[in-house]
Structure 1
Amino acid sequence: MMAARHFTALRSRILLRELLLAMLPLAITVLLLGVALAPNNQALINRPQDGWTPYAYQGLSQDVLRYQVARLDPTLTRQQRLVVRDQALSSVRSRAQFSDLSAVEAHGEGSLAAIERALMQNTDESLREAVQQALALNSEALEYSQQMRDQYKDALEGMRNALLGSAVVAGILGLLLTLRALLMWRADRVRAEQREARQQEALSLASHEMRRPLQSLLLASDLLRQAATEGQRQHLLTMIEDSAAQLASRADLTRLNALYLDVTLRVRRIDLVPLVRRFASARVHVVTPGSPVIWPVDADRARQILENLIENAVKYTDGVVEVTLDAPNGAPRLRVRDFGPGMSDDLRGRVFLPFERGPQSLVAGSGLGLPLVRRYARAHGGDVCIAPASGGGLVVTVTFGEAQEQITAPSGATGAT
């Protein structure tokens, strides 16, 4: 139940992370647009929608010039000239129509107030001054209008660049997220293939290791039918029970990973001498110390080490195979020596890889025994090595150390003895 809740929480965190990553391009695009457009707010947002125009200033200069012409026209009466002047004064005094007046006047010497004073004086000299001020103010308005157009242009250019930059950044982020998704998909696929390969390797090793006890079981069952005495029957029944126990130990489908891949040992202290002596036969000469060799090992896995090494040695030699157990430095050491053709240095470096085999022209095999021997030896804190023997053949040496990642078995646990 706790594991299910943990898995659900983990899955929720992963989904939230992926959702946030998917929203990242949108968030960065909005942020970039906000930062890039902020300096343009004055030109694009706070300005009148129709933009700024100098028409009012142009109209003022025309009204002042019209009054100057009226003063010089002898056909006009004094009253008619005053009407024209009043029109010019009305235009000057309608200050609301002159937008951004202070900003326009800051561009030069033209001044709306100066125009009004000159018109009020109503002299030839003051009129010339009013005309000069009106023309100057109109010129300043044209400069200001050009400045406003440049600002609008710069603002629009900045907005375009911001949009393009945001699009580029969003595109790159989208590409990176797509690449990340592809890499994650590929990693998931590789992990799935690795899991499948490990499962296949575990099944291959289990099949390889079940073959010997199954053969022994079939042979003992066949001999049991021909047993003449009670002692023979009991001996064969013991063989059958031992083979069945070995089959159960090596074919536990719930522990294939612990048995053959990431090896987990069931360790207890046993005497290795009886374990080694049980392999003595007409073709296997066993040499053991006269005193017990007590060491913490997984008895079933130690037995599989011996089975694989002796089986390989018997395959490649027609003579006797020598098996020696000793403890030169306090820790157990197993040596299996054959008198076969040996193997090259290159092949000795590869035989511990799965499906690599010795001289292939001699006998058939799967190439799984020695890799499993090394895996079990290293799980026991030791190792295995192969060296040429004096006089021909090979010597395979297995050392034992302190077992790692072990499960300590109870003192009454059964094992190969």
Structure 2
Amino acid sequence: MRRPSFAALGRGDLLRAALPALLSGALLLAAFQPAHRALTQPDSVWHGDSAQTLLPDVQTYVLTLRDPAASPQDVQASRARALASLGRAETDPAFAVAAPQLTQLRRLLRSTQPQDTTRALRLAQTWTLAAQRQLRARRAEVRQVLRRMEWMVTLSALLTGLLGTALIGRALGHARQAQQGRLARETQHRQALGMAAHELRRPLQALLLATDALRATTNLRAREKLLSVIEEQAAHLAARTELERLDGMYVNVVAAPQPTDLATLVAEVESARVRVRRPRGEVMWSVDSAQLRQVLENLVENALRYSAGPVLVTLEAAGPAQGPQLRVTDRGPGLTPAQRDTVLTAPHPLPRAAGGRGLGLPLAHRLAQANGAQLTLHEAPGGGLEARVTFARP
């Protein structure tokens, strides 16, 4: 079996196949872009370390400066730590709005005057509290962005899953339709072959009878007539053995209607067991004469097979409400209503006296429909089966 290839797919198929990935990528990009901007830009990303260290270092410096027991080295080291924290605060976005005041704080820290150090402590407290408020606001903003990103990722996964499921379901549906189409075609082919085999029996039987009669007679006129019968039945056999025409002959039937005298057509089936009733004169109707002859022969053959008595073929001319009607009536065991509803649409083993696959009636039904007629089965008056072929008015 040949494996599917991407080269065999059209541009539309490839786009539909890539649609879930494109949609997922677009949604994820839309989700991560705000978070990327909030977490990576230098002017918005900071951790608040300066807000945590500046005030304690300034307090330590002020206390060390006021401690009489502190040595000059301790005071100098404490001032250095406070100035280092101030240097970090000057580069922290949280203190960006207070840059001028930070410069003033640096000057106050370098002073040893008590009032300057007290003022430096107040400034450090004020700016640290402001920086902490800004830090909390920034953290709240980042949490909001992360929650939005979480929702977008969840939505992306959900939509991608639904879209992928829909595309997979669509592909499976197409595969199922293709499989059903293949099965339907195989069933049609089997039906066509079965119907062809069923229809081959009649010309074969006629050929055998004609050849037997030909051997037994020496009359030249009779021999010529038998030879014409053989030629005619051989032509029927040739037509039914053209395999490329089986579908058009037995499944998707197409008629080629021409004006035909139905009375003459009906008269051809008259025999020792088949009686014919028809109007005087012609009954002209536009039908495919070969197909209608096949319908009539199938119905008569079916009636002869399932009954021992005579078979009546009746032709009624067209009336004001409908076209002509053909009736084939036998006195056999008949069919139940359920059987009459099913034997016309599918091959069905008939539970009557003779065996068979029941292919003649479905074929007759199709051929009648192709010629604008409806074949129905009814219980015959007095028992038996009556097949009616009713033509609709144009």
Residue 239 of structure 1: how far off its partner (Å): 0.8
Q: Equivalents in 2 of 1:221, 1:90: separation in Å?
A: 126
Aligned to 1:284: 274
| Counterpart AA for 1:140 | A
Q: Which of 21, 27, 36 is the aligned partner of 2:22? A: 27
1:323 partner SS: strand
Deviation string 1:186-213 (CA, Å, 9 cap, x unpaired) is 2222221111111101111111112101
Moved more, 262-271 or 179-188: 179-188
Q: Which of 29, 52, 55 is the aligned partner of 2:46? A: 52
| Counterpart AA for 1:332 | P
Moved more, 138-147 or 283-292: 138-147
User: Residues 400, 12 of structure 1: CA spacing in aligned structure 2 closer, same or farther, 3 A cutoff?
Assistant: farther
User: Residues 90, 312 of structure 1: CA spacing in aligned structure 2 closer, same or farther, 3 A cutoff?
Assistant: closer
TM-score by length of 2: 0.83
Aligned to 1:375: 366
Aligned to 1:99: 93
Aligned to 2:329: 337
| Counterpart AA for 1:370 | L
The question of whether the paired residues in 2 share the 8 Å contact of 1:380 and 1:402 is answered with no
User: Residues 248, 300 of structure 1: CA spacing in aligned structure 2 closer, same or farther, 3 A cutoff?
Assistant: farther
Q: Equivalents in 1 of 2:330, 2:46: separation in Å?
A: 104
2:312 partner SS: strand
Residue 164 of structure 1: how far off its partner (Å): 4.7
| Counterpart AA for 1:347 | Q
Matched, 1:217 2:215: no
1:170 partner SS: helix
1:355 partner SS: coil
The question of whether the paired residues in 2 share the 8 Å contact of 1:44 and 1:155 is answered with no
The question of whether the paired residues in 1 share the 8 Å contact of 2:345 and 2:365 is answered with no
Matched, 1:392 2:387: no
Q: Equivalents in 1 of 2:352, 2:92: separation in Å?
A: 107
Aligned to 2:36: 41
Q: Equivalents in 1 of 2:340, 2:71: separation in Å?
A: 129
Structure 1 unaligned residues grouped into runs of 5+: 1-10, 404-417
User: Residues 386, 91 of structure 1: CA spacing in aligned structure 2 closer, same or farther, 3 A cutoff?
Assistant: closer
Q: Equivalents in 2 of 1:77, 1:278: separation in Å?
A: 141
2:348 partner SS: coil
Aligned to 2:121: 131
The question of whether the paired residues in 2 share the 8 Å contact of 1:246 and 1:300 is answered with no
1:397 partner SS: strand
User: Residues 396, 56 of structure 1: CA spacing in aligned structure 2 closer, same or farther, 3 A cutoff?
Assistant: closer
Q: Equivalents in 1 of 2:187, 2:304: separation in Å?
A: 30
Q: Equivalents in 2 of 1:386, 1:84: separation in Å?
A: 116
Residue 42 of structure 1: how far off its partner (Å): 2.6
Q: Equivalents in 2 of 1:145, 1:222: separation in Å?
A: 114
User: Residues 67, 344 of structure 1: CA spacing in aligned structure 2 closer, same or farther, 3 A cutoff?
Assistant: closer
| Counterpart AA for 1:336 | V
How many residues are matched? 387
Aligned to 1:273: 263
User: Residues 400, 245 of structure 1: CA spacing in aligned structure 2 closer, same or farther, 3 A cutoff?
Assistant: farther
2:41 partner SS: coil
Moved more, 383-392 or 272-281: 383-392
Aligned to 2:3: none
Deviation string 1:127-181 (CA, Å, 9 cap, x unpaired) is 3232111122223334444544555555555545544543444344334433333
Residue 306 of structure 1: how far off its partner (Å): 0.8
Q: Equivalents in 2 of 1:83, 1:366: separation in Å?
A: 113
Matched, 1:61 2:55: yes
